[in-house]
Amino acid sequence: MAFRRVVVTGLGAITPLGSTVPAYWEGLRTGVSGAAPITRFDASKFKTRFACEVKNYNPDDYFDRKEGRKMDLFTQFAVIASDEAIQDAGLLEGVNKDRVGVIWGSGIGGLKTFQDESFNFAKGDGTPRYNPFFIPKMIADSSSGNISIKNGFRGPNFVTTSACASSSDAIVAAYNYIRLGMADAVVTGGSEAAITEAGVGGFNALKAMSERNDDALTASRPYDKERDGFVLGEGAGALVLEAFEHAQSRGAKIYAEIIGGGLSSDAYHITAPDPTGEGVVLVMQNALRDAGIKPEDVDYINTHGTSTPLGDGAEIKAIQKVFGEHAYNLNISSTKSMTGHLLGGAGGIEAVASILAIQHGVIPPTINHSTDDPELDARLNFTFNAAQTREVNVAMSNTFGFGGHNTSVVFRKFQE
């Protein structure tokens, strides 16, 4: 059986840098930090009091009041980003909706809904009074369900949950469903909205987040010697993936081609990365093999790069092992330095960033760098502090999650 080619025909994003794809790209290109003091709740007693929130967000700008109340914030973000991608792709007219699916990713799902309902119960007299929308709002698959219901897409529909690899796993699953002929197009990506008391408090307890409250703008600093943990972000990134012949038949514009996806497990620890980077080596090798390309064909890697002391080093060592001398010809950057870490939504917005790097021939930077880490090879091009122009024919996007989940996705400049 011959695999079908799969192309990207639509993009959508709502992020801490901007609430559309053009605004997001402008923030990435110019190196804007999305970090600021938390406004979603009173964070004054928390160890971390800042995050990368979606700015000036008002659900009434996107949903009528009754509709919005039925969705957790992570689902609202999913619907907004997917709406932009679907409209961008022109997917609502002239397609067989039985053959259009939605495969979405979220690592946590409706955390705020769960937290609020639990708080309300704890404050009461013990009588169980729960909102009838509690469960439908909280469950992670409400995201893909709402996208399909709104648009009438009756193809494959489910959510992947693998911590911070969730939306990359969704993209790989969508790619496989299309190339195997099980769907003609799939709306995919991921969303997260974990900037809540429970989210911030929980990650503080793990000592995973930066506590640089006096300098929030530069707190996310991947590969810098002074990095002290990730900065929590929120939002969503969406892609429309489509069989090439299907896109061609309806005259759709094509951003790029997705040519491979790799998965692996560290099999090491529930939260800590394997310091040897063995699982990360394996996932990138698997992705290259699936794509049918050599390491020398890759121009840019959008790294996982969360700004944690152990994780950043393990990924860089793995890149050097997989790419050898070619590692010095690569551009490497972590856009989390600008957006913060969207957890299960990270792979969605970072896939969008990788595709736009191919389209525009611009590598978004790793901002906030001031001090070289002597443990990392300074000869590597980390794209520190300013975007760089270069032709990008092939880009790889890496995402790794708690539990040892590793995923790499490979995109290539489209050529008929």
Summary mean pLDDT of the chain: 97
How confident is the model at residue 125, as a pLDDT?
A: 84
pLDDT at residue number 2:
84
CA distances from 203 to 168, 194, 394, 412 (A): 22, 10, 34, 35
CB atoms within 10 A of CB 217: 15
pTM of the entire predicted model? 0.98
Active site residue 52: no
Check: CATH 3.40.47.10 for 261-412?
A: yes
Residue given tokens 């799969």 in the structure block: 6
Assign 333 to helix, strand or coil: strand
DSSP line for 204-242:
HHTT-B---GGGGGG---TTBTT---B-BB-EEEEEEEE
Mean pLDDT of 228-255: 98
Residue 124 confidence (pLDDT) above 90: no
Contacts of 348 (CB under 8 A, 6+ apart): 13, 81, 105, 167, 170, 171, 188, 189, 190, 191, 236, 237, 238, 239, 342
SS3 10: strand
In this structure, what token pair is assigned to residue 69?
């109340």
Mean pLDDT score, 284-297: 98
The CATH number of the domain covering residues in 6-249: 3.40.47.10
The string of pLDDT tens digits covering residues 165-197 is 999 999 999 999 999 999 999 999 999 999 999
Residue 126's pLDDT band (cuts 50, 70, 90): confident
| Tokens 């609202």, residue located | 76
Average pLDDT (244-273) is 96
For residues 125 and 131, give the distance between their C-alpha atoms in angstroms, rounded to a whole number: 16
The Cα–Cα gap between 234 and 38 comes to 12
User: What pLDDT, on a 0 to 100 scale, did the predictor assign at position 187?
Assistant: 99
Q: Using CA of residue 215, residue 218, residue 349, residue 343, what is the dihedral sign?
A: negative
* Within this chain, domains 6-249 and 261-412 share the same CATH topology: yes
Domain boundaries, the chain: 6-249, 261-412
Q: Please say if the pLDDT value at position 1 is more than 80.
A: no
- Among candidate residues 17, 164, 291, 387, the one labeled active-site is 164
CA–CA distance, 291 with 296 (Å, rounded to integer):
13
List, for residues 310-363, the tens digit of each pLDDT value.
999 999 999 999 999 999 999 999 999 999 999 999 999 999 999 999 999 999
